[in-house]
Amino acid sequence: MPNYLQDTVALNNGVKMPWLGLGVYLAKEGDEVERAVQAAIRHGYRSIDTAAAYRNEEGVGRAVAQALKDNGLSREDVFITTKVWNADQGYESTLAAFEESLSRLNMDYVDLYLIHWPVKGKYKDTWRALEKIYREGKARAIGVSNFQIHHLEDLLQNSEVVPAVNQVELHPELTQKELLQYCNDKEIRLEAWSPLGQGNLLNHEVLKGIADKHGKSAAQVILRWDLQNGVITIPKSVHEERIVQNGNVFDFELDAEDMRTIDNLNRNRRFGSDPDNFNF
């Protein structure tokens, strides 16, 4: 049976990234994150999204190594994302933070390295560090997270590499249509964090209605909506049955009316912080 979780999208530098991956924010270092990552890879996931700030890079690294062994895979078969934390931004400090992430992950490269948040006055220097890391081949692609259009405009003015990805909060109550259009125009791939609204959208009546129609769950409907919008998505769960469920979204299609109905749920509602007004 084909493994659709291996379906990839080509980023702007040709590197292929799986459309759907496992997020591990709030997955506890140790057993919890290791079990989640191992279950995900066993069930066909090939992409894991972590960050220095999640304090679980060591567990992710151990679990990936074990899963590769158990499933007869090699390092090239998986796509690992991590991110530089705000306190480490700046040129030299980012270079050092990156080496620390690599060492915690016990890897000699990552597939995608992101600036976690657009820290004012620092993100351009941070980006120069990411460009160096990219040129040295230690990250196969580099990108940003939580960047609004004005942050991207500012960054693009004097950077050499166009970010491959912008990872932002995106779900049916925060559809990010303008940012999606902008990123598509610049060949920056949008990636959805908190795609399930941190679990808060799963009892939404409209989503449940569409889910019933397709014999799927509300979570699956949202993730399918991401994919049909051309948005990479990284739902988080530490429960094996949910990890399986979330990956099982390649065997049905939302019709144009479903897509419109979900688009219309937008309320510009954030469950996370506002990239123009955060204090961490």
Q: Which residues are catalytically annotated?
A: 54
Residue with tokens 């799986």, as numbered in its chain: 18
| Bridge partner list, 16 | 10
Out of 94, 145, 148, 229, which residue is the one contacting ligand NDP (CB under 6 A)?
145
Please identify which residue in 84, 155, 234, 249 interacts with ligand NDP, judged by CB under 6 A.
234
Q: To 10 degrees, what angle do helices 256-263 and 218-228 make?
A: 100
Could you tell me which of 149, 101, 145, 121 has the C-alpha nearest to residue 272?
145
- Name, in order, each residue with C-beta under 8 angstroms of 245's C-beta and a sequence gap of 6 or more: 217, 219, 220
* Contact stretch for ligand NDP (CB under 6 A) within 38-46, 118-126, 131-139, 234-242: 234-242
Minimum distance between the CB of residue 72 and ligand NDP, rounded to whole angstroms?
A: 26
> In whole angstroms, how close is the CB of 47 to ligand NDP at the nearest point?
10
Interaction between residue 272 and ligand NDP (CB under 6 A): yes
Q: Are 61 and 29 in contact (CB under 8 A)?
A: no
Least distance from ligand NDP to the Cβ atom of residue 237, Å: 3
In DSSP terms, 223 is beta-bridged to none
Could you say which residues in the range 208-227 bind ligand NDP, by CB under 6 A? 217, 219
Integer Cα distance of 225 and 196 in angstroms: 11
Q: What are phi and psi of 84, to 5 degrees?
A: -85, 130
Q: How far apart are CA 255 and CA 237, in angstroms?
A: 27
Site size toward ligand NDP (CB under 6 A) is 28
Cα–Cα distance measured from residue 63 to residue 238, given in angstroms and rounded to the nearest whole number: 13
Cα–Cα separations (whole angstroms), residue 131 to 64, 81, 99: 26, 16, 14
Q: Which is nearer to ligand NDP, 128 or 236 (CB)?
A: 236
As measured in angstroms, the least distance from the Cβ of 235 to ligand NDP is 4
Structure tokens at 225: 């909506």
* 69: contact with ligand NDP by CB under 6 A: no
> Does residue 198 bind ligand NDP (CB under 6 A)?
yes
Q: Judged by CB under 6 A, which stretch of 1-9, 85-93, 238-246, 258-266 contacts ligand NDP?
A: 238-246
Counting contacts by CB under 6 A, is residue 23 touching ligand NDP? Answer: yes
248 binds ligand NDP (CB under 6 A): no
Contacting residues toward ligand NDP, per CB under 6 A: 23-25, 49, 116, 145-146, 167, 193-199, 202, 217, 219, 234-239, 242, 245-246, 272
